Structure 1
Amino acid sequence: MSKFFIENNQRTVCYYVGGNPASEKIIFFLNGLYVGNKSWIKQQRYSYFRDNYKLLFLDYPGVGNSEEKENQELVYEDIITAIKNVLDREGRRETHLIGYSLGGMFGLWFTYQFPSYVNSLVLLNTGVRINIYIYQMIHGLITMIDSGVDLKNVYMFLYPWNHSEEYLEKTSDMEHITLENYYNYNRNTRSFKALLTALRNHPNLKESLEHITCPTLVVGSGNDKVFPLEYQKEIAAKIPNSTLHIIPSAGHSAFIENHQEMNALIEQHLKKFENTNEKL
């Protein structure tokens, strides 16, 4: 995995390139809130993705290895601009965006604003709005950051919400590793607070749905407590060229819990382009 930086007078954004760097086809993975490219390890190792695509991963502004200037304000559009800057740097190629959770929200809005950049969209466990539980969670996180609470203690309470009961029972030994990844990715509390604030003030994503014309795969889970299944059904009903798939037993992180099924679904979606040469 190679690391690159894009710098301007406001911030330094870090992104990573894996897979087949010589490929003319890109999969751009947009992760959720707490973990960066390490969350996609099951996808990075999947031979179809690894051998046939250049794989891109982004540290959102202010988290991971991306840096903000002191007291720099962060708004939702800054995250969209960071995605665009990476694709501009890598050159215009056949590009497939895969967005998980809040990364799916970024993917929706980016595709709405820059449709010529995206050949297809994959939305995993996401929605067009943040429900009252997640809104209160974000508000609570900001309050705890302002109060000086150690983020490791905060993440200990958040971690179980991302997985199903069955998965947690089988993988309790992974909790420590996961919490360390949470902490390392969001170790700058000031920047993490700015990111949370930008997410809380997200635009009206509903207006984007009917304008997205590229082929879109929407995947939801029966036990998702963060973005319940009704959220994915809403998206699939309003994006004209979309397909909905449900994984009944998975929790919010289906791409981890059910990675074999998820990878096969995404491969099937991408192979439509091989068979039809369909492009925007």
Structure 2
Amino acid sequence: MDAYATAPDGTPIAYQVRGQGPGTPLVLLAGQANNHHWWDGVRDDFHVDRTTVTLDYRGTGDSGKPDVPYSTGGFAEDVVAVLDALGVEQAHVYGTSMGGRVAQQVAARFPGRVGALVLGCTSPGGPRSVERSADVRRALVQRGDAGRDALVDLMYTPAWVAAHPGPYHTLGDPGMPAYARYRHLVAGHRHDAWDLLPRITAPTLVVHGSDDLLNPAANAELLADRIPGAQLRLIPLARHAYFEEFRETAGPLVREFLREHDSSC
């Protein structure tokens, strides 16, 4: 099912529902400046257990694209608007990269709406987080094929790229207006959930690739230490898109964690 929810400010938010599993529904949140296709490579893995819900962030995909400031807190309100439109009182939430930042906001600000929480390749943001290196920042600002190749290298290992030449769904929504891409960048940069993290009551699993340079793995330890009772799992050799390249490890890990918390939701 593809449909629209209405955000608090009136922006239409496109969402997509797939699968019919009996478990608690799972909201999947994509990375910065990406639409729901971010999850195309692994989404079906969850349908043995549950229905999945994705959305196109404002500024991406089929959602509205207002030229106003965006924030991870605002994206969280959009997620809740989707749950309201579906009549879902509580769902599990799995966010990766900037989606993990949005998931932090949802879990801290709307605790009753989150059954279990998975935070992948993400960061608490703010001055206490661990920033990517200057070399990575320089690589990312390159234009054209050089910039794309740098991003692919941060997402996947060379061996995986050689065996999987693409297309890749984790490199950004090509249909985004330039202003929306910039507003996503600012939203991610301004995220700081340090003071919110202790308020998270949902059972939480933090997952990260050990070789992630786009979002250094030290941030996973910060999150796990800051969120009460959180579990931490590092996937050896994995880069930023661990959930896709290392799906045979990450998928069962996340699925088992969610199953453990279905009965409490």
Q: TM-score normalized by structure 2? A: 0.86
Unaligned runs of 5+ in 1: none
Q: Give yes or no for contact 1:164–1:224 (8 Å, CA) kept in 2.
A: no
Distance in 1 (alpha carbons) for counterparts of 2:226 and 2:113: 21
1:219 is displaced (CA, Å) by 0.9
State yes or no: 1:198 paired with 2:172. no
Aligned to 1:64: 61
Q: Give yes or no for contact 1:31–1:102 (8 Å, CA) kept in 2.
A: yes
Tell me: CA distance 1:163–1:222, structure 2 relative to 1, closer, same or farther (3 Å): same
Tell me: CA distance 1:220–1:140, structure 2 relative to 1, closer, same or farther (3 Å): closer
Aligned to 2:256: 268
Q: Give yes or no for contact 1:10–1:68 (8 Å, CA) kept in 2.
A: no
Distance in 1 (alpha carbons) for counterparts of 2:210 and 2:227: 21
Q: Deviations over 1:24-83 (max 9, x none)?
A: 72100001124332222243222xx214322111111111111223x3333333211111
Tell me: CA distance 1:29–1:138, structure 2 relative to 1, closer, same or farther (3 Å): farther
Aligned to 2:101: 105
Q: Give yes or no for contact 2:210–2:217 (8 Å, CA) kept in 1.
A: yes
1:111-260 to 2 correspondence within 5 Å? 111-129=107-125, 131-133=130-132, 154-171=147-164, 173-174=165-166, 177-178=167-168, 182=171, 184-202=173-191, 204-260=192-248
**Alignment: residue pair count:** 261
Q: Give yes or no for contact 2:123–2:220 (8 Å, CA) kept in 1.
A: yes
Unaligned runs of 5+ in 2: none
Q: Deviations over 1:104-160 (max 9, x none)?
A: 01101111000000011001111112654489988998x89xxxx77x774344232
Tell me: CA distance 1:272–1:132, structure 2 relative to 1, closer, same or farther (3 Å): closer
1:84 is displaced (CA, Å) by 1.0
1:35-50 to 2 correspondence within 5 Å? 35-46=34-45, 49-50=46-47
Distance in 2 (alpha carbons) for counterparts of 1:196 and 1:153: 20
Aligned to 1:12: 12
What amino acid is aligned across from residue 178 of structure 2 in structure 1?
T
3-state secondary structure, aligned to 1:210: helix
Distance in 2 (alpha carbons) for counterparts of 1:192 and 1:57: 19
Q: Give yes or no for contact 1:220–1:232 (8 Å, CA) kept in 2.
A: yes
Instruction: Judging by fraction of residues, say which structure has more helix.
Output: 1
Q: Which moved more, 1:257-266 or 1:155-164?
A: 155-164
Distance in 1 (alpha carbons) for counterparts of 2:97 and 2:34: 12
State yes or no: 1:53 paired with 2:50. yes
Distance in 2 (alpha carbons) for counterparts of 1:75 and 1:187: 17
1:187 is displaced (CA, Å) by 2.9
Tell me: CA distance 1:159–1:42, structure 2 relative to 1, closer, same or farther (3 Å): closer
Tell me: CA distance 1:185–1:84, structure 2 relative to 1, closer, same or farther (3 Å): farther
Q: TM-score normalized by structure 1? A: 0.82
3-state secondary structure, aligned to 2:195: helix
Aligned identity (percent) is 21
Distance in 2 (alpha carbons) for counterparts of 1:197 and 1:136: 20
